[in-house]
A and B are shown apart, each in its own frame.
Chain A
Amino acid sequence: MNQRKEEGLLLSVENLGERLFRLKIHSPSVSKKALPGNFCHLRVNESYSPLLRRAFSIHQVEKEKNNFELLFKVVGPGTQILSEKKPGEKIDLLGPLGNSFSLPAKDENAVLLAGGMGIAPLFYLINSLLTKKFNPEKITLFFGVKGKDECLLINEIVSTGIRLHLATEDGSSGYKGMITELFFQELQSRRIKAKRTKFFACGPNPMLKKVSEISRKFKLDCQICLENHMPCGIGACMGCVVKTSEGYKRVCKDGPVFDAREVILD
């Protein structure tokens, strides 16, 4: 028995934008074991509405303080309830669950692609690389959002000193269009090179599908972090599977991190 249901203590609820929230939770067991890419499975209340747990990527970890953070957008009743929680409340959670990103070597580059809330696990990856004294100039983030209002955490990202490419769908800031278009251009013009680089992506499925296609075309060593509804979250129910070149795989247990060339998204 190496896993337990945990009772985290909610330390803070931060409203970062209209529907965007960041929770800081105290949990020694989660923060000690967490790795970038892992997720937690939360029960938002004790009622049957909603009934099932919700999976959230781990967004930030303070190892020395035994805290970790989750970043989410209110999209339904579950996230609504979570956003209304007060510091001091107990959080029923399972985690850390799932696999994690395999990190680049010191002499490699890291190129990350985040679409909207896909920034959540990638932000943790960036910080974890920086903690390991990875040169920030060897980290490039392609960050795509709908509009300027959604440029969440942009100041925090800029302050890390990594290279940043921003794309907004409405053109209110940075490149106008989809982040995958910008990424494709940079690859084609060879300003971003496939060699000695590890690629990481997280975002909505249509974006990841594109990333997956680009990865095959340019033979990128790219890991994508998937999201799905997960009834059990621990690999038992076969409910959250994704199609891969080796058949269906469980996002919760075999993932959420997969090789972009292996996953077949539709």
Chain B
Amino acid sequence: MIPNLSVKIGKVKFSNPVLVASGTFGYGEEYGAFFDLNKLGGIITKSITLNPREGHLPPRTCETPSGMLNAIGLANVGVKRFIREKLPFLRNLKTKVIVNVAGSSIDEYVEVVRRLEGKKGIDLLEINISCPNVKQGGITFGSDPKCAYDCIKAVRDNTTYPIIAKLSPNVADIVEIALAVEEAGADAVSLINTLVGMAIDLEKRKPRLSNITGGLSGPAIKPVALAMVWKTAQKVKVPVIGLGGIMNTQDALEFILAGASMIQVGTGNFVDPECSIKIVEGLKEYCQEKRLKRIGDLVGKLKV
């Protein structure tokens, strides 16, 4: 028996629930050297902004216990070059392509999604209202339910693609934000983005990142992510996409039990470039072993 791993978000059907997280996979090309990208459920691009962004001064990353900090600063080629230079590669893949969109004003989000509208090769948008590393925008839209609503509503009104709202854990109540973006028309929520963190070089008495603070990711944040996915999945009706420290099949299954319909691999890609497709295989094997017909039957089946 071949288990059914497929998942639907909006009208888009994914062959399996494994995605690769924005910012950890570039625009797909690099990892294409390591494995067949079509085996993935989908690829989420690096955040795209209206204009190209150089990003923050180095050092931009630093390793921490069971995790890492990053403050890349949304370095990206901008929407115009993305469409011209990066989309042709993604368009030729059979896997689903999710373009992550960031902005420093609602107008910028709207302008980016308008330019992406109708472009061949894009299946969904993920709206980043949770980047912890840029002063303006990003997280400011994700830390207040009203702002989150306004941002997602504006995007909703200007695109026909299904949209995923990517949520920040750096908030008082992530459920409140999730409910707000659902109300605004998001087809799914993905959580969690990175947690604000910091590391210090004692010798130099300086922060290890030029941006002083950065976003913490990796196994260190998995328990936080699981709790937030669990709480959110109790309240929202749209699918929840879980991420935060997923390194293997077992981690992925835990998120699914907690209520995630799909999962994203982020930092795990750095540790093992094949991490994501190993999870696809692992989920298949788990279903076979447990005689599950559909992976979807496991979503939210945590016994509490």
Binding site for B on A (CB under 8 A): 1-5, 43, 48-53, 94, 228-229, 231-243, 247-248, 253
Partner of A237, one of B26, B63, B218, B272: B26
Tell me whether B4 is interfacial, beta carbon within 8 Å: no
Tell me whether B279 is interfacial, beta carbon within 8 Å: no
Q: A236-B26, A240-B61 known; A1 and B68 CB under 8 Å?
A: no
Interface residues in B178-221 by Cβ distance below 8 A to A read 218-219
Q: Which residues of A lie under 8 Å from residue B63 when comparing CB positions?
A: 50-52, 229
Tell me whether B86 is interfacial, beta carbon within 8 Å: no
Q: Which residues of B lie under 8 Å from residue A248 when comparing CB positions?
A: 54-55, 58, 75
Q: A1-B34, A237-B24 known; A232 and B58 CB under 8 Å?
A: no
Q: Which residues of B lie under 8 Å from residue A237 when comparing CB positions?
A: 23-24, 26, 61, 70, 72, 270
Q: Which residues of B lie under 8 Å from residue A232 when comparing CB positions?
A: 24, 30, 269-270, 273
Binding site for A on B (CB under 8 A): 23-26, 30-36, 46, 54-55, 57-63, 65-68, 70, 72, 75, 218-219, 247, 267, 269-274
Which B-chain residue is minimally distant from A76 (CB atoms)?
A: B63
Q: Which 6 A-B pairs rank lowest in CB-CB distance, beginning with the nearest?
A: A236-B26, A239-B61, A48-B66, A3-B33, A236-B30, A231-B270
Q: Which residues of B lie under 8 Å from residue A4 when comparing CB positions?
A: 34
Q: Is B72 touching A3 in the complex (CB atoms < 8 A)?
A: no
A-B contact sample (19 more), CB < 8 A, given A48-B66, A52-B68, A238-B72: A5-B272, A43-B272, A51-B66, A51-B68, A51-B267, A229-B61, A231-B61, A232-B30, A232-B269, A236-B30, A236-B269, A237-B26, A237-B270, A238-B60, A239-B72, A240-B58, A241-B75, A243-B57, A253-B30
Q: Which residues of B lie under 8 Å from residue A247 when comparing CB positions?
A: 54
Q: Which residues of A lie under 8 Å from residue B24 when comparing CB positions?
A: 232, 236-237
Q: Which residues of B lie under 8 Å from residue A53 when comparing CB positions?
A: 270-271
A237 to B34 CA separation, bound complex (whole angstroms): 15
Q: Is A235 touching B271 in the complex (CB atoms < 8 A)?
A: no
Q: Is B31 touching A231 in the complex (CB atoms < 8 A)?
A: no
A8 to B303 CA separation, bound complex (whole angstroms): 43
Q: Is B54 touching A239 in the complex (CB atoms < 8 A)?
A: no
Partner of A231, one of B34, B36, B70: B70
A242 to B57 CA separation, bound complex (whole angstroms): 9
Partner of A51, one of B32, B54, B57, B67: B67
Q: Which residues of A lie under 8 Å from residue B66 when comparing CB positions?
A: 48-49, 51
Q: How far is the CB of A181 from chain B (nearest CB, A)?
A: 25
Q: Is A234 touching B273 in the complex (CB atoms < 8 A)?
A: yes
Q: A5-B34, A43-B271, A232-B24 known; A238 and B62 CB under 8 Å?
A: no
Q: Is B35 touching A1 in the complex (CB atoms < 8 A)?
A: yes
Q: Which residues of B lie under 8 Å from residue A43 when comparing CB positions?
A: 271-272
Q: How far is the CB of A75 from chain B (nearest CB, A)?
A: 12
A238 to B219 CA separation, bound complex (whole angstroms): 21
A sample of 7 inter-chain contacts (CB < 8 A) reads A48-B67, A48-B219, A231-B270, A234-B273, A237-B24, A243-B57, A247-B54
